[in-house]
Structure 1
Amino acid sequence: MTEELKKSMKQIVAELQRNSLDSQWLHQIPLEKKEEYVTKDPTKIYFIERGNLLVTKTLTSDAILDVQGINNKIYEIFTKNELIALENLSDENTNLAFKMSALVSSEIISIDKEYLLNYCTNKPSFLEAILKYATTNILQYEEKSLAFLGSREQRLSWSVETQKNNELNDEVNMTNRILSKISRVDESFISRNI
């Protein structure tokens, strides 16, 4: 994610906070290191105020033919000034659950979807920034899906490079367990190749 887009997201959330009249519209959630926050609420989007999170997205749908709990999970690392659960902006109920695990002491802000969308209606520049952010995410997912068609070595290499560019805090210890989840490669393979 580009720094310009992250800065835009930070400015949007700051303005939303300044003008929020109801505590249900925005809610701050502090997370200690290794603490988890799980949600299935399709009416919320989350913003990382500070810290880094390992996010597990789990899709439950009748359309998935794979074994439940194995191939329907996506692991991603999100850093400061990024949005999580952007999929919830869609009116379609995608049955996504998000488990956010703090890699360091972190803080997220829960944003009511309708509040955000109403604000975007009155402030088109917000909508434009969020569309750019969503488009960038989609392009990253396409890149990831192509990388994941490759060998274990290619998946691991792509994941390591991506995390270097993700500008994680020095506090984050990128363990083999986390790398194995992100790259879908077993831990023993990572131990032998890093």
Structure 2
Amino acid sequence: IDGRIIAPTKPSAWDCETNCNHWIGFENFDGLHIQGSGTINGEGDKWWKLSCKDNEKGFVIGHSKNVDIKGLTFEDSPQMHIAFESSTLIHATQLTIRAPGHSPNTDGIHIQRSTNVSIDNSTIQTGDDCISIGNESKYINISNIECGPGHGISIGSLGIMGKTEEVEFVHVRNVTFHGTTNGVRIKTWQGGHGHARNIKFEDITSHSSTRPI
């Protein structure tokens, strides 16, 4: 991808009877390589003004393995910019992800029910978590990330509505935070069950972050 891909400019252009979950999605792939110098723009500012929090994710990889994403720019997604769901053997590198610091729920990369995910050498500026790691995710490696503005790098939230949720074997290293509300954190809900274990945060630098840890 070397050009610009731009989402519909009006939320009304979406057919929510068939899909209001994400804009661009790849399902059930084995050996998917996406790279280039192009930009994927989600026209999110049209969505952020709406009261509904269930806005579309920008770019989703689901039920896939052996996936590489390299070099692209993602900007102004209605909600999460990139989501890896129920996938394994993922490598994302040299990405730029950006949205205004006030944009709601615009996580840079969200990982859910996925294993063996590596994210490195990327710059992420959003209105929510730069990277968030959700339930049933393990063997996650994050390195050489510039994060900010945003809410930092988060594990969770885990245990909502009393659920049992688990995250294991996460290594975050060589990350610099710039003006974020948080640095690295683990988020849990009162009354939930499960665990976050074998978590390592290493070589973390924070500049003007409200809660570095």
> TM-score, normalization: structure 1?
0.26
Higher relative CO (Cα under 8 Å, sequence separation at least 6) belongs to 1
Which has the larger strand fraction? 2
Which has the larger helix fraction? 1
